[in-house]
């Protein structure tokens, strides 16, 4: 692995803990003004100091993120359909030059294993990796779940392994029972998406389980920005990921920080 690729990866996964808290706020690329992100600049500004990396689209980076920020950017580069259309019908829509211009530490795209357009999204991943390799740009593959697919270790493991085989440097997927089997079968770091909003304690327990079973961290969105205490929630998630806190300890951080002012990480 060359210097540029390793250096960028270390901005996404800080070497001190070897773990990462990515804040996913790209939902608008197909959902429009998602609950919790309607005024996205206002929502994400207090959260950014507590995350290692922001997973985001170029439009939001340009318009809503302070360029003087310390946070690294992982840029969503796939898109096309809206929530009203066929979600798997995505292509790569952002050039590598644009990712470099925005000083991205990585680029991310979805693959739709077990859904329509499975083959095209997987070959698009291969092409993106080919291009990214030339510039030392890490690629995060996101395993979007086909409507009819069970979210179990067999299916999630299949999707993650395919992403790694095609050349992704990192994979984002969903937590499932026997998640350690998914990790064992995937030779690159895995981060978990949070999925739909859960009660805070359940989201924190899922995070603890994922880390214990070998996840490198989270790329979490709704369970943070849709919480009644988003800053408390990201601090709680951070304690589990970087400090090995239990879900109970983290829940205490979430609860006790409800009325405190925002602090830097």
Residues of this chain, 59-118, that bind ligand R5P according to CB under 6 A: none
Tokens 């030779």 identify what position? Answer: 187
Shorter beta-carbon distance to ligand R5P: residue 77 or 166 = 77
Shorter beta-carbon distance to ligand R5P: residue 144 or 183 = 144
Indicate whether 142 belongs to the interface with ligand R5P (CB under 6 A).
Answer: yes
Q: Which stretch binds ligand R5P (CB under 6 A): 6-14, 175-183, 190-198, 207-215?
A: 190-198
Q: Interior CA angle at 133 toward 129 and 137, to 5°? A: 90
Indicate whether 14 belongs to the interface with ligand R5P (CB under 6 A).
Answer: no
CB 20 within 8 Å of CB 12: yes
Number of Cβ atoms within 10 Å of the Cβ of 121: 24
11 is catalytic: no
Tokens 């990585």 identify what position? Answer: 106
β-pairing, 72-76 vs 106-113, is parallel
Q: Looking at 44, 51, 55, 145, which residue binds ligand R5P (CB under 6 A)?
A: 55
Q: How many residues bind ligand R5P (CB under 6 A)?
A: 13
Shorter beta-carbon distance to ligand R5P: residue 78 or 257 = 78
Shorter beta-carbon distance to ligand R5P: residue 6 or 42 = 42
Separation of alpha carbons 129 and 241, rounded Å: 28
Among 11, 19, 172, 235, the one annotated catalytic? 172
Separation of alpha carbons 52 and 54, rounded Å: 7
Indicate whether 195 belongs to the interface with ligand R5P (CB under 6 A).
Answer: yes
Beta carbon of residue 206, minimum distance to ligand R5P (angstroms, whole number) = 10
Beta carbon of residue 259, minimum distance to ligand R5P (angstroms, whole number) = 25
Tell me which residue of 62, 138, 151, 65 sits closest to 107, measured CA to CA. 138
Indicate whether 220 belongs to the interface with ligand R5P (CB under 6 A).
Answer: yes
Separation of alpha carbons 165 and 162, rounded Å: 5
Q: How many CA atoms lie within 13 A of 2 on its CB side?
A: 9
Length of the chain counted residue by residue:
265
Indicate whether 193 belongs to the interface with ligand R5P (CB under 6 A).
Answer: yes
Residues that bind ligand R5P (CB under 6 A): 24, 26-27, 55, 142, 193-195, 219-223
The catalytic residues are: 172
């Amino acid at each position: 692995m060359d210097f540029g690729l390793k250096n960028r990866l270390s901005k996404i996964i800080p070497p001190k803990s070897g773990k990462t808290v990515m804040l996913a706020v790209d939902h608008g690329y197909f959902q429009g003004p998602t609950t919790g992100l309607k005024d996205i600049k206002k929502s994400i500004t207090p959260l950014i100091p507590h995350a290692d990396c922001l997973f985001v689209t170029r439009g939001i980076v340009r318009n809503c993120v302070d360029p003087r920020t310390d946070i690294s950017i992982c840029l969503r580069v796939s898109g096309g359909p809206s929530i009203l259309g066929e979600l798997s019908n995505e292509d790569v829509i952002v050039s590598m030059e644009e990712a470099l211009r925005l000083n991205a530490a990585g680029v991310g795209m979805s693959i739709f294993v077990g859904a329509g357009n499975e083959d095209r999204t997987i070959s698009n991943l291969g092409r993106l990796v080919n291009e990214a390799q030339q510039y030392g740009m890490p690629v995060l593959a996101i395993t979007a779940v086909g409507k009819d697919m069970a979210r179990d270790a067999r299916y999630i493991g299949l999707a993650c392994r395919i992403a790694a085989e095609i050349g992704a440097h990192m994979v984002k997927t969903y937590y499932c029972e026997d998640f350690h089997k998914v990790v064992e079968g995937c030779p690159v770091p895995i981060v978990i998406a949070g999925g739909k909003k859960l009660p805070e304690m359940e989201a924190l327990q899922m995070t603890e389980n994922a880390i214990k079973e070998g996840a490198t961290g989270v790329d979490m969105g709704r369970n943070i920005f849709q919480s009644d205490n988003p800053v408390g929630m990201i601090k709680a998630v951070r304690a589990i990921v970087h400090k090995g806190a239990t879900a109970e300890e983290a829940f205490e951080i979430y609860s006790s920080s409800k009325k405190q002012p925002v602090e830097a990480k």
